[in-house]
Chains A and B, each alone.
Chain A
Amino acid sequence: MNILELNDITKDYGSVKALKNVDMTLSNGEWLAIMGPSGSGKTTMMNIVGCMDKPTSGTVMLDGTNISEVSAKNLTNIRRDKIGLIFQQFHLIGYLTALENIMVAQYYHSMPDEGEALKALERVGLRERAKHLPSQLSGGEQQRVCIARALINYPMLILADEPTGNLDETNEQIVMDIFRQLHRDGSSIIVVTHDPEIAEEAERTVVLEHGKVTRNTKNAVAGSRGGDEKNV
């Protein structure tokens, strides 16, 4: 079952065509990597999939809803309910503790629940850092808080933009371990990256060039996907 289907997507910024007739699908529980050089349309793709922008033409079906047709307000609701975002720059709110940063996502989604937020922190191994402010955390720790925040509302799709772009080798491995674990648990993941090593971890790689999909292949060494599919 496909949870995401992009059909013939085109996105224009004035005279610049950022995406040209792109087709792409993502099945439930799949781990997809999007690669491409700068300016290839990765970010535009990310914005459209993340319900932050609409295509100029074409349809985007997310979990059976055509998001190219809904209003901006409903787009926000869909994003809130179905997508967990992870950013290259972490983007934690500087004046809130790690725990509170996670609870902000709960707050906008439904109801803040401290216990649940603590559990999420535990999953990324940061339970004892709950009361720390972002400035007191290392880059890797911040990104783990960011992941915990993305997961807190049990999103249908995790969308990560260069999640390891600002991290050193060690932290990169920690973060990738979390992704692997998420994948084993059955989450659908899209990772945008230009690091081939990261892309190889995914099951499938889509390569964008000049707004077009130039390659869409299953990876030979598919992510160590232990114990088959589980329900999400």
Chain B
Amino acid sequence: MKRQTMYMRMITGSLLRRRSRMFIALLAVAIGATILSGLVTVYYDIPRQMGQEFRSYGANLILVPSGEEGAFDAAAIEGAMRSVPADDIVGVAPYRYETGKINEQPFLLAGADLAEVRKTSPYWFVSGEWPDADGSALIGQEVADMIRLVPGDRFTLTGTDTAGENFSGDFTVSGVVQTGGDEEGFVFLSSADLDGLMGDGGRIDVVECSISASSDELTDIAARIGEDAPGVSPRLVKRVTESEGAVLTKLKALVWLVTAVVLLLTMITVATTMMAVVAERRREIGLRKALGASDRSIAREFLGEGALLGGCGGLLGSGLGFAFAQLVSMQVFGRPISFQPVLIPATMLASVAITAVACLLPVRSATTVDPAIVLRGE
């Protein structure tokens, strides 16, 4: 029989036949590994997940036509959006502004892809419904107060189109929007409706984009759009981008620090448990020494046991940790987390290292004990 085989038999014997103790040790390692992989996963996913949450602040990039006077069309925007990674785009809402009259009172009209607006401005509070068909409109609270309209009412919009002709159209109020901001003074129509009224198509005054990216990435994106898309001038909404950067950095720092503290303490707890488990075996160490084992071979055996334990615990823990991270993500953000395969070997390696070190400390002190303790029957 090979020495290695005996080595493995001793180690597995120790692990499998001392079930209650090893179960405790395994539990300790697995808990440690769960916390490790769980928190690290959460930590790495936070910027992405929180970044998504921060999109509730609305657009962080605005595209306006470059040059003095002008507008751009859908093609120009499409060109510009090619500079943005498709996965990061939360919403792109082009707006066209015109003026019109209801009951001879002038109002601002905004034509937009309202489905996209809903994505770029998730904070809008709409009483009633978002318009889902042509011929229905969303009106601001101010407008609603002024002309006493409630959802379901019909109104007639009149005005002058691009060609100088008078137009008139009937619309249904589908909802009243409250934002606490300027939007409350607008009448929002679908782009198609407004284009129809104005008698031309495709004119766009401004595009609000909500992009899930950090402040630096946004600056890059803006620079690329500025270079690649002629006629489009990108502007960062500083209030949103700067603040998001600041808050997100703090949040990341918080989770980082908390993760570090939790990990540190977990490691110490794992280490003390391992120490207690190993310290219990002083007598056995004395016996092995009496049988002629060198300090090195004893250290090697405990290290092997620790490594095996750490590996199993790590594997178990990385699975449980992922489950925890998934739970957090689903509960908190309502989105699944991306699986990081690299975390499995990383967690296992870390738990092997921690367990091995935790085993070695008491083994070291135990090997200094002279083997004579076994003779005294202590």
Contacts and interface: CB of A to CB of B under 8 A. Distances in A.
Contacts of A76: 289, 292-294
Interface residues of A, number: 37
A76 B371 CA distance: 10
Categorize the interface residue count of chain B: 20 to 34
A184 B215 CA distance: 90
A50 B370 CA distance: 12
A181 B6 CA distance: 30
Contact of B374 (A77, A89, A104): A89
B370 A100 contact: no
A94 B372 contact: no
Contacts of A157: none
Nearest to B287: A91
A29 B266 CA distance: 58
Nearest to B376: A43
Interface stretch (B10-18, B76-84, B140-148, B245-253): B10-18
B375 A111 contact: no
Contacts of B290: 50, 52, 79, 85, 91
A88 B290 CA distance: 14
Contacts of A154: none
Contact of B291 (A73, A80, A111): A80
Interface string A86-107: 0111010111110010011111
Given A77-B292, A79-B290, A95-B17, A107 B10 contact: yes
A81 B17 CA distance: 29
B332 interface: no
Interface string B2-46: 110111011001101110000000000000000000000000000
Contacts of A95: 13-14, 16-18
Contacts of A22: none
B371 A52 contact: yes
B302 to A, nearest CB: 13
B341 interface: no
Contacts of A111: 1, 3
A168 to B, nearest CB: 18
Contacts of B217: none
Given A107-B6, A114-B1, A133 B17 contact: yes
Contacts of B14: 95-96
Interface in A97-148: 97, 100, 103-109, 111-114, 133
A172 to B, nearest CB: 18
Given A73-B294, A88-B377, A100-B9, A53 B370 contact: yes
B371 to A, nearest CB: 5
B13 A87 contact: no
Contacts of A149: 291
B375 A46 contact: yes
Contacts of A104: 6, 10, 288, 291
Given A95-B17, A108-B297, A112-B3, A47 B292 contact: no
A64 to B, nearest CB: 19
A97 B7 CA distance: 14
Interface in B154-176: none
Interface string A40-83: 00010011001011000000000000000000010011011100
A106 to B, nearest CB: 8
A47 B6 contact: no
A161 interface: yes
B289 to A, nearest CB: 7
A191 B165 CA distance: 124
A93 B292 contact: no
Contact of A79 (B2, B6, B292): B292
Nearest to A161: B375
A93 B289 contact: no
Contacts of A109: 292
Contacts of A50: 290, 372, 375
Interface of A: 43, 46-47, 50, 52-53, 73, 76-77, 79-81, 85, 87-89, 91, 93-97, 100, 103-109, 111-114, 133, 149, 161
21 contacts: A43-B375, A50-B375, A52-B372, A53-B372, A77-B292, A81-B292, A85-B290, A93-B284, A93-B288, A94-B284, A100-B10, A103-B6, A104-B6, A104-B288, A106-B6, A107-B7, A108-B293, A111-B3, A113-B1, A114-B1, A149-B291
